[in-house]
Amino acid sequence: MSTEPADKQRLDPRDDVRGRSRVQDTPELRAYYDELAKHSTLAFWTRANDIEPWEPQTRYVPTLWPYRTMRDLVLRSADLVDPARAGRRVVVLINDSDAGRHYTAACGWLFSGLQVMRPGEITPAHRHTASAHRFIMEGAGAYTVVDGHRITLEKHDYVLTPNGCWHDHGVTADGKTSIWQDGLDIPLMNILETNFYEVYPEEAQQRQYPENDSPRTWGGAPGLLPSRLEQWQAPWSPLMVYRWRDVRPALVEFSSVQKPDPFDGHIMRYSNPLSGGWAMKTLGAQMQLLPAGFEGAAHRHTGNVVYNVAEGRGYTQVGDHRFEWSEHDVFCVPSWTWHRHVNLDSKAPAFLFSFNDFPVVESLGTYVEQPEGSDHGKSAF
Ligand code: 1HN
């Protein structure tokens, strides 16, 4: 016998089965629910089907932030506020959904923004529980100082600011106005209510190590690690910057000997060279090469991804949205949303940088992937 769903639960015929909530509303029950509410309680069966969906239900909308619009907006912020007063001069990418606005999220647990720095400017030194990473989009002379390690930054370099590390950044006086994308796990840290923040006693840190000591120590050549250094204790990668001048040729070499993945083309992760795992505990990042004319197959997976187009032109179908992209456009793929990538250039590869919350999703054992047309992976069980 069909029953009406209880108070305010969504109407889904699939819920009319044993093991799901299908309690019919009655005047006695309504009175009981009112009584429960007075005592900071509720009847689980009135909410069960909503809070235990059959499969992940994202609260985020697929979104494209086109660089031709974003660039003008970000540059305008440089005329309007001083980074030393603003703390950080960042235009935040907001997912235009209740959850996105509430958590200040671009997608899922991912916060992202575009930051601009003019020559001679600095962002005052600070630290927080949230982890951060950055993808350099344009400019010259940018640098960051992470716990006393000064790192010079060039276009398309990827750099870490792990949780709790002091950091400040700037652009040298002889550099060029620089724009980069920041990615942080702020929404996750705030939902866990674990987020602390501190300002450094001085505006900027003194460099405590030789310039670029991190990549010079840990990234001199692939697979080559120091034999006699004290063991690295931190839970993040000792290699803090991954240079585009190394990453791009590495992907081209990789693609020359491997078959492309049907969904992602040739995709590589920015990993901790000591473990092979993600470089930080909460945020992951990848670079992928879509071969000329690549037409990816559709799949979906748990975990959220924010892309930044490093090179090329194409489109990504995300749910009902077709995002045509070219250099530095940013777009997101929310958890468990079907998507496929297409490189519209028949002669040149496209490169997509992306960052994600996979380290969290994987470490909790909740990563699930499903190729289109297959039942495999549909359920986590
Ligand atoms: C942060 O530390 C930076 O250091 C940029 O550049 C953006 C947004 C929220 C919280 C911390 C930075 C940030 C941030």
| Strands of the sheet with 369-371, listed across from one edge | 321-325, 314-318, 339-343, 299-301, 369-371
Mean pLDDT for back-to-back runs of 10 residues, the chain (381 residues) = 46 90 96 98 96 96 98 97 92 98 98 98 96 98 98 98 97 98 98 97 96 97 92 95 98 98 98 97 98 98 98 98 98 98 98 98 96 77 74
Q: Is the CB of 167 under 6 A from ligand 1?
A: yes
What phi and psi values does residue 86 have, to the nearest 5 degrees? -75, -15
Residue with token string 């795992």: 277
Residue-level pLDDT at 232: 92
**What is the CA(88)–ligand 1 centre distance, in A?**
6
Q: Is the CB of 184 under 6 A from ligand 1?
A: yes
The answer to whether 331 and 316 have CB atoms below 8 angstroms apart is yes
Q: Which fold has domain 64-220+235-371?
A: Jelly Rolls (2.60.120)
Residue-level pLDDT at 340: 98
Q: Which of 122, 182, 186 to mutate to test the pocket of ligand 1 (most atoms within 8 A of CB)?
A: 182
Q: How distant is the alpha carbon of residue 321 from its chain centre?
A: 19
> Which residue has its alpha carbon closest to ligand 1 atom 1?
88
Q: Ligand 1: which atom is nearest the Cα of residue 168?
A: 4
**What is the largest distance, in Å, between two alpha-carbon atoms of the chain?**
77
232's tokens: 């690295």
Q: How distant is the alpha carbon of residue 72 from its chain centre?
A: 23
Bridge-partner residues for 198, per DSSP?
A: 127
Residue-level pLDDT at 5: 44
Residue-level pLDDT at 33: 98
**What is the CA(274)–ligand 1 centre distance, in A?**
27
Cβ neighbours around 375 below 10 Å, total: 8
Q: Which of 77, 81, 88 to mutate to test the pocket of ligand 1 (most atoms within 8 A of CB)?
A: 88
189's tokens: 């840290």
Q: Is the CB of 186 under 6 A from ligand 1?
A: yes
Residue-level pLDDT at 3: 43
Residue-level pLDDT at 230: 83
Q: What are the sequence ranges of the domains in the chain?
A: 14-49, 64-220+235-371
Report pTM: 0.95
Q: Which of 165, 184, 196, 200 to mutate to test the pocket of ligand 1 (most atoms within 8 A of CB)?
A: 184
Residue-level pLDDT at 381: 74
